[in-house]
A and B are shown apart, each in its own frame.
Chain A
């Protein structure tokens, strides 16, 4: 601006050009600022974007009528959901595994999909302006339209796992689901593994299945031994040694114990 005034005052030729340049720069700055603010607002207030709405239909109608394809005749009161169906339950994924396993012993790894205490669906919040409004969202029940199968697999290299491969179980409303594996390390070491849990949605009215990876949980198991002995060997040796050691030394130990007791009793009597 100063340049412009200076230029106007000095009646230089490039005065108007510089002024226009300034205007363009300021305009660009305002545009950038506006875009940034709008992007920020979108991030702050994420909203469910409906897939197909009446607006979409009205905007697409001219293009569709010009083509030989059959006209789409859905109305605003059509029952096509705009939100994909979901399982209307809050669940807890519980993974249990042993931190330490003796070599040769088997231990259990459990994965369960329990029901949450709070149970069913909670409302979803929408931010409108500055006020937070709680609006219950009607998410279609997936159990009504699909068969839901939970599939679990345990990958644990270096350790014998039974059963191997994928285990499947149908997920029923309100019912927990559990998968159990038996693991048996054959050598000492730290073993890292992953439990994969997938959900498979099979439509009741036919159609293609859909697979969703629900969770991948890492577990670590340490296989240990004692003086080179595994769990089974240690127990057998321990049992045999205890019997032998007891037979050899226990009678003498008992005599010593009784004599000690007698001496104390005598001292107490005096």
Chain B
């Protein structure tokens, strides 16, 4: 390393900085995952709608 000239040092620094930029630019994104259980009762026909339809069917 003693024999390295200034432009070699500059080139080395440029290489390091560029690699940092490249790694940052290519680093995969962290994903957040949320899992929410849904029961059948939550996917039920709304009561008002059911009521109206049932009543209209009877009459």
- Chain B residues with CB under 8 Å of A242's CB are 15, 18-19, 22
**Is there contact, CB below 8 Å, between B44 and A248?**
no
Which residue in chain A gives the minimum CB-CB distance to B7?
A248
**Once the chains are docked, how many angstroms separate the CA of A82 from the CA of B26?**
58
**Once the chains are docked, how many angstroms separate the CA of A237 from the CA of B17?**
10
Interface residues of A in 53-70 (CB under 8 A from B): 70
- Chain A residues with CB under 8 Å of B36's CB are 92-95, 215, 217
**Once the chains are docked, how many angstroms separate the CA of A215 from the CA of B35?**
12
**Is there contact, CB below 8 Å, between B11 and A247?**
yes
State how many residues of chain A have any CB contact under 8 Å with chain B: 67
A15 within 8 A of B: no
Interface residues of A in 211-268 (CB under 8 A from B): 211-212, 214-215, 217, 219, 226, 229, 231-232, 234-235, 237-242, 244-250, 252-253, 256
A149 within 8 A of B: no
- Chain A residues with CB under 8 Å of B8's CB are 248-249, 252-253
A98 within 8 A of B: yes
Given A51-B54, A93-B36, A94-B34: A235 touches B26 (CB 8 Å cut-off): yes
Interface residue SS majority, chain B? helix
- Chain B residues with CB under 8 Å of A139's CB are 40, 44
CB distance from B58 to the nearest CB of A (A): 6
- Chain A residues with CB under 8 Å of B22's CB are 234-235, 238-239, 242
**Is there contact, CB below 8 Å, between A98 and B34?**
no
**Once the chains are docked, how many angstroms separate the CA of A86 from the CA of B52?**
16
- Chain A residues with CB under 8 Å of B24's CB are 102, 226, 234, 238
A76 within 8 A of B: no
Given A51-B51, A231-B25: A201 touches B18 (CB 8 Å cut-off): no
**Is there contact, CB below 8 Å, between A249 and B9?**
yes
CB distance from B57 to the nearest CB of A (A): 7
**Is there contact, CB below 8 Å, between B32 and A240?**
no
**Is there contact, CB below 8 Å, between B21 and A85?**
no
A52 within 8 A of B: yes
CB distance from B21 to the nearest CB of A (A): 3
**Is there contact, CB below 8 Å, between B53 and A90?**
no
Residue of B3, B19, B20, B22 contacting most chain A CB atoms (<10 Å): B22
Given A51-B54, A100-B30, A210-B49: A235 touches B43 (CB 8 Å cut-off): no
**Is there contact, CB below 8 Å, between A241 and B40?**
no
- Chain B residues with CB under 8 Å of A215's CB are 36, 38
CB distance from A95 to the nearest CB of B (A): 5
**Is there contact, CB below 8 Å, between B4 and A252?**
yes
A-B contact pairs, 6 of them (CB 8 A): A52-B58, A87-B40, A100-B30, A142-B43, A210-B45, A234-B21
Inter-chain pairs besides A95-B33, A201-B45, A242-B19, 8 sampled, C-beta below 8 Å: A86-B45, A92-B36, A96-B31, A96-B32, A237-B21, A239-B22, A244-B18, A249-B12
